[in-house]
Each structure stands twice: as structure tokens, then as C-alpha cells.
Amino acid sequence: MAAAQNRLTGELISECLATFIILGLGDSAAAMYVLYDPSPYQQAYWGVCIAWGLAVTLAIYVTGAVSGTHANPAITLALTLYRRFSRRKVLPYIGAQVAGAFLGAALVYFLFGPVIDHYNLVHHLSRAGDGGAAGVFFTHPGLAITPAHAFADEIVLTGILVLGVFAITEQFNTLAPSANTGALIIGLLVATIGACAGYLEAWPINPARDLGPRVFCFLAGWGHQAFPAPQNYWWVPIAGPLLGGVVGGGLYQLAIRPYLPARVRPSAEDSHP
């Protein structure tokens, strides 16, 4: 019992650290994009995407051997439904992920706090009144995107993420990358989703990635801009990715996994000459 408890403790620390790394680096890239004029990324958006992707890769290399590096409640839920991840670990894992994202946002605030204040002063913005610089920390709908459309977007984009993760980590997929390179490919998958659709609503594809920083910002002066957010948007980056993970994982399990050659055994008649 003590050994199992110690193992779970290590896994939760690992999940917290993984999301801390992802948010600490990823939101720092967002700060570089939002706060500086001219922004080093305005004409090179792929740089933001690859920074997020490599943050995911680093998190996997650091923590994957301990917890598997879910670092995303949508991944945890999909693994529980389709890959026999322990149900008793679901809520602790999600709690650790949200806590890590909160701490990652706190790190970014520590690093860029003076720049945030300068940005808001120069642009005559306030945190609670205008949501000044909130885009550094959490997501929001982009040009012409309604919350309902963003919800549908996140189902699709997170579905693609989980579909890809399931394929990359599938033991019977002979075309999957080896264990040493899988982390890099998952990072590139995250970067690709951002490069293809990041402007829609900043591609959260991860409830913890949005919720943890949103809670931090609520406490750090952004108030109702974080919760409930304009247009009551706060729930969209949570519910959309959770549902998308179920859809993407289910698609892989139903449409791809049963037909992988390494899993399909020859029939009796195929075994005869």
C-alpha cells in the first residue's frame, strides 16, 4: 500500500511538473508575441507554434518515464476510456495538471510582470476593465469566432491531437516512431495544430492549459475578464477539448486500431496453402 501511494505521489508530481514546463515556456512565447512591438513573432508565427511544441517535447522527456506525461485532462480522459488507465487516478491527475498550469502562469507573471504593466500603461488598458495582456495567459475567441463555434473547433482540434497521440504511442503500429523520438513527434503535432488553426481561439486543446492560468489571472487582478470572461467563454476551452479527446480517441480505437496488421491474426483458411 505504501509503495503504491508513493508511486502515485511521484506520478502526480510528474504531471504537475510537466504542465508547469509547458505553460512556463508556452505562455512565455505568448508574452513575446503579445507584449513587444515589434513582436519577434508577428511575421514568424511558426516560432510561437514550435515553442509550444518543443515545450511539450521537453515535458515528455523530463516526466514521461514516471507518469506517461498526460499533461492534459483530455488525454487522461481518453486513456481512461480506451486504454485502461486507472479510474481512481483520473481526478488526482487532472488536479495535478491544473496546479502545474497555475504555477506555470505564475512563473510567466514573475518573468514578464513589469512588461505586462508597461504594455497596459502604454496602451491605456487595465486588467479587470479591458483584459489588458490577458492573451499572454489564457485563450479567447479570435476574429469572427463565437463561443459556440470555438466549442466545435476545440472538439475537432483536440480530436486530431488525441488521434495523433494514440497513433504515435500505439504498440501495434509498426509505423509509429520509436520511444526515443515519440516525444518530438508529439511536440511537432501540437505545433502543427497551432500553425494550422491557432488563430481561431489560440488552440487550447487542453483544459488545464487554459483553466490553470485563468484561475491565476482571476486572483492576480484580471477578475471577471478571466471568470466568467466576456461572452461567458470560460467553459469552452474546458468542455470542448474534453469532448474532442473522447471523439478523437474513439475514432482511432474504432477505425484504425482493429485493422493494424500486427493485431490482425490470420484466419484459419488463410493459414492453409
Cα atoms in the 13 Å half-sphere on the side-chain side of 130:
9
Q: HSE of 228 in the Cβ direction (CA atoms, 13 Å)?
A: 6
pLDDT digits (tens, 9 = 90+) for 98-145: 999 999 999 999 999 999 999 999 999 999 999 999 999 999 999 999
Residue type, 52: W
Sign of CA dihedral 27, 33, 36, 39: positive
CB 245 within 8 A of CB 75: yes
Look-up: residue for cell 485563450?
A: 139
Short-list 197, 214, 217, 111, CA closest to 155: 197
List for the chain the helix, strand, coil content (%; round to 5).
Answer: 75, 0, 25
Q: What is the mean pLDDT of the chain?
A: 95
Residue 267 has pLDDT above 50, yes or no: no
Give the start-to-end residue ranges of the domains of the chain: 8-111+128-258
Q: Which CATH class is domain 8-111+128-258?
A: mainly alpha
**Helix (H), strand (E) counts: the chain:** 9, 0
State how far the Cα of 135 lies from the Cα of 199, in Å rounded to an integer. 12
Q: How does pLDDT run across 43-87, given as a tens digit for each residue?
A: 899 999 999 999 999 999 999 999 999 999 999 999 999 999 999
C-alpha cell at 267: 484466419
pLDDT tens for residues 199-239?
999 999 999 999 999 999 999 999 999 999 999 999 999 99
Q: Which pLDDT band, with edges at 50, 70 and 90, does 269 fall under?
A: very low
- Cα dist. 53→48, 63, 149, 154, 244 in Å? 9, 16, 25, 17, 19
Which string of DSSP letters, residue by residue, matches 86-141?
A: -GGGHHHHHHHHHHHHHHHHHHHHHHHHHHHHHHHHHTT--HHHH-TTGGGTS---
Angle between helices 179-201 and 147-168 (to 10 degrees): 170
Closest of 70, 15, 60 to residue 181, by C-alpha? 60
| Cα 76 from chain centre | 11
- Cell numbers that stand for 228 in this block: 466568467
Which pLDDT belongs to residue 265? 61
Predicted local distance difference test score (pLDDT) of residue 88: 97
d(CA 179, CA 65): 11
Closest CA to 195 of 58, 60, 46, 1: 46
